[in-house]
Amino acid sequence: MNFLKRHADLSASLLLIAAVLMYAALFVDFKVAPFEDAAMLMRYADHLAHGYGIVWNIGEHPVDGATDFLFMIVSAALIKIGFPVGRAVRSIGFASHLLTVLLVYWVNRRIWNASIVVSLLSGLYLVVGTGLAYVAAFFGTPFFALFAALTWTVGLLLIQKANPPIWLSLVFAFSGLITGLIRPEGVILAALMLTAVVIMKGWRASATTIFVFAGVFLILGGAYFIWRWNYFGYPLPNPFYKKSGGVLHWDSFWESLGNLLRFGGPFMLAFLFGFRSSKTTRQTIAFFIPLIFFAATFILIDNQTNFGGRFQYALWPLVLISWYPLVDGLGREIGFSWPRPVEVRARGVWILVALAVVFAGLYYSWSQNCRLAIDQQNCNFGEERDGRYDVAKILSDYQDKGYVIATTEAGLLPFYSNWIAIDTWGLNDEWIAHHGEVTEAYLDQYKPELIVFHAYFSPLSPPNLSDKNLSQDWFRMTITLKAYAEKHDYILAAAFGVSPYDTHYYYVRRDFPDSAKIVRAISSVKYFWGRRAVNYVDFQP
């Protein structure tokens, strides 16, 4: 007992580590296949690790479809030294999540001098959140969140110190640059953190930090920017050209703000309390700027692929290392005090109330795992058996024959099949991203052996070619693929779905040696898509 008292912070840290490990063992399913979008980055990392460069298809021009750039590089490094692809990706994510939990604890303890209980609860709130769900799905989201939190931590130290040493400004700038190299929006987040520092310290006191930050980003960040423009041929990641569209995406804006509020949950109340006096208002505004404006930047892109709010997850630990000073001393200001020792009954009631509040907060954080995917069946999220993975494993038997798959499902199928792949939506295809959509002429350049697409129709419910439907990019793309396949006499091997209005179409070209075998194999798959799917080809009129 005396040891625990003397080493309370160490004990709390060990408890948080144990909590992460226990939560991972009891509540997270690591046996599932990668989430569809995560498998895209894994393909890039695997190609880079084996010396082919940052390419979607081996031998083709580099394309920056893996927007988690530095995460891809680190994953490729682990693959290079012998890690299997999946284990490399998950190891980085898991370690990042664990370190972020510990960082939340220690920032509250050492920077804000919060109590062990407050710091521990802040860490536990992150433990049971969605971080490990992203790891299970093979996303690098916790890696980005770790460096965002590290950058903000250094920013808080800059704010605290009257005359911070120049090395601290250098660490802040380098950490911000790394955050931007992991994901491009990290540059925006780092700049917003710098803005918060300036608001708190003033222009004059922040001059050195601003100069160092600008120098690091202009020199090193500029060198990287020039390299990537030269290497990829375009200044911005390929998905930006597809997902932006040159318009404001208000649905993304409101969902992003909603993700900030729901991730922060009860801790967001601290930002309201922070406006209670002039003493705390400035700090509240400064701390709120990186959160609200970063969330608002997602108005620039479509919200597709934002699994479980992963684009905004980095704000979760930022809230947890920012909230405490905004409410510190609030109890004294409103005259609240803990019941005197003689009031045993009152003390017992308050302990029960405190435990109930803690449980409610942790339950709320855990419940965010219930909202990871639109069609999620329960809160114990584990991506259920996916027929695309099963088909991809069948196709992998033919990976050395130079066959081509054109597909809207550019994750599991390309990664596990190892076929040459055309991402017909364009996230991983430079030509499609810059020309707007796939065309018959473009497909003719490849003459794909297999065409696979996610459609909202089936042989039992044919597509309605109304002007309204054809104005929708996804629908128009699927019609282009369907028309191409039918014009070139492809075999419709399957149209799998749990509903005739939501299906995966599999068309196979007739005139290549393995055509008949592939048709038989695909049509006989026990296809799952959340639950057992039906092959609607078998029920054609």
Q: How far apart are CA 186 and CA 169, in angstroms?
A: 17
**The two three-digit tokens of residue 239, written as one number:** 């998905």
In the 8-state DSSP scheme, what is residue 458? B
Do 449 and 347 sit in the same domain of this protein? no
Q: How far apart are CA 142 and CA 164, in angstroms?
A: 29
Domain boundary among 371, 395, 424: 371
Cβ-based neighbours of 203, under 8 Å, separated by 6 or more: 210
Do 181 and 276 sit in the same domain of this protein? yes
When pLDDT is averaged across residues 157-183 and rounded to a whole number, the result is: 95
Q: How far apart are CA 93 and CA 123, in angstroms?
A: 17
Of 430, 387, 431, 394, the closest CA to residue 409 belongs to 387
Domain boundary among 309, 336, 371: 371
Q: With a cut of 60, say whether residue 381 has pLDDT above it.
A: no
Q: What is the per-residue pLDDT for 33?
A: 85
In a domain, 518, yes or no: yes
Q: With a cut of 70, say whether residue 537 has pLDDT above it.
A: yes
Do 359 and 279 sit in the same domain of this protein? yes
In a domain, 380, yes or no: no
Per this entry, what is the length of the chain? 541
Do 474 and 359 sit in the same domain of this protein? no
Asked if residues 329 and 350 have their Cβ atoms less than 8 Å apart, the reply is no
In a domain, 22, yes or no: yes
When pLDDT is averaged across residues 9-20 and rounded to a whole number, the result is: 95
Do 207 and 291 sit in the same domain of this protein? yes
Q: With a cut of 90, say whether residue 294 has pLDDT above it.
A: yes
- Which of helix, strand or coil describes residue 452? strand
Cβ-based neighbours of 526, under 8 Å, separated by 6 or more: 390, 532
Do 456 and 359 sit in the same domain of this protein? no
Helix (H) or strand (E) holding 480: helix 473-487
In a domain, 376, yes or no: no
In a domain, 379, yes or no: no
Do 363 and 451 sit in the same domain of this protein? no
Cβ-based neighbours of 520, under 8 Å, separated by 6 or more: none
Cβ-based neighbours of 314, under 8 Å, separated by 6 or more: 141, 144, 145, 148, 149, 189, 294
User: How many separate domains does the chain show?
Assistant: 2
* Long-range interactions of 77-86: CB distance < 8 A, separation 24+: 77/49, 79/45, 79/46, 79/49, 79/50, 80/49, 85/42, 85/45, 85/46, 86/34, 86/42, 86/138
The Cα-based distances of 9 to 107, 114, 120, 227 in angstroms read 12, 12, 9, 44
**The two three-digit tokens of residue 172, written as one number:** 């802040």
Asked if residues 38 and 139 have their Cβ atoms less than 8 Å apart, the reply is yes
**The two three-digit tokens of residue 311, written as one number:** 């684009």
Do 118 and 10 sit in the same domain of this protein? yes
Q: What is the per-residue pLDDT for 384?
A: 64
Q: What is the per-residue pLDDT for 380?
A: 63
The Cα-based distances of 21 to 24, 126, 135 in angstroms read 5, 13, 13
In a domain, 482, yes or no: yes
Confidence of residue 339 (pLDDT cuts 50, 70, 90): low
Do 408 and 291 sit in the same domain of this protein? no
Q: Which domain holds residue 254?
A: 2-371
Provide the terminal-to-terminal Cα distance of the chain, rounded to the nearest Å.
Answer: 76
Q: What is the per-residue pLDDT for 355?
A: 86
**The two three-digit tokens of residue 361, written as one number:** 């907060």
Confidence of residue 50 (pLDDT cuts 50, 70, 90): very high
In a domain, 378, yes or no: no
Q: With a cut of 60, say whether residue 402 has pLDDT above it.
A: yes
Percent of the chain with pLDDT over 90: 75
Confidence of residue 245 (pLDDT cuts 50, 70, 90): low
Do 401 and 275 sit in the same domain of this protein? no
**The two three-digit tokens of residue 75, written as one number:** 């994953």
In a domain, 381, yes or no: no
Do 174 and 211 sit in the same domain of this protein? yes
Domain boundary among 302, 336, 371: 371
**In whole numbers, what is the pLDDT of the chain averaged over residues?**
91
Confidence of residue 177 (pLDDT cuts 50, 70, 90): very high
Do 337 and 195 sit in the same domain of this protein? yes
Q: With a cut of 60, say whether residue 382 has pLDDT above it.
A: no
